Amino acid sequence: MTTETVASKELPNPSILSYIRDLPNICSLAGLGCTLIAIYFIVTGVYAAAMIGMIWAVAFDWADGLIARRMSGRTGADRKFGGQLDLLIDIVSYGVTPAILILSYASFDPAYLPIAFIMLVFGAIRLSYFSTFGLSDDAKYTGLAIDNNSIIIVFVFLFAGYFDRAMFSIILGACGLCLAALNVSQIKTPKLSGNPVNVALLATYTLTITFVYGWTLL
């Protein structure tokens, strides 16, 4: 056993809260804060504000990956911790939040509970699969990346005013089921967040969505 190996084994593990100082993790936690705001406004019925929170959660999620790839000096433990943190936040942001949105907009009708459950189950399976196998050999996701759920639902919700509440609840439920099916499908989708151009497009989309929904709140 080498001296270097012995020294590495004697080093204590970093403290839990030390990872808060990592800039990509700060972005991830900011996205979690946006998700909490979104859930709050979903439950209180202020859906326009909830949509803003949902799309900003995606923006921070994409930003943390971009920052992490450009930072030097991050250890393997830093990357592993950040990856696990991302997965835990993703199930809340893109699994739990859309499910609560559909339940809330349907006035918590028990008939929509199976839809919410399927979205949660498929979302958890999707993230577990990615955590196990990662990207495919051609550097693509297997199944629709779960962050697309919020991106698409926020867009679909723009048309809520064109339908009565009961009808749009059905539309939202159908949309949720379709997205859940795509999450666990065998389709190959590119890693959009890995391209700075796509990040810039998401930033434009986020600002546009913020303006549109913000205008309705005035």
DSSP secondary structure of 161-198: GGS-HHHHHHHHHHHHHHHHHHHTSS-EEE-GGGSHHH
State the pLDDT at residue 4: 47
Percentage above 70 pLDDT, the chain: 94
Q: Say if CB 136 and CB 189 are below 8 A apart.
A: no
Give tens-digit pLDDT for 16-68. 887 888 888 899 999 999 999 999 999 999 999 999 999 999 999 988 877 77
pLDDT band with cut points at 50, 70 and 90 for residue 2: low
- The DSSP output letter for 96 is I
Q: What is the mean pLDDT of residues 132-139?
A: 84
The one-letter amino acid at 15: S
Domains and CATH numbers, the chain: 22-217 (1.20.120.1760)
State the pLDDT at residue 179: 97
Cβ neighbourhood burial of 123 (10 Å; 0-12, 13-18, 19+): buried
State the pLDDT at residue 56: 97
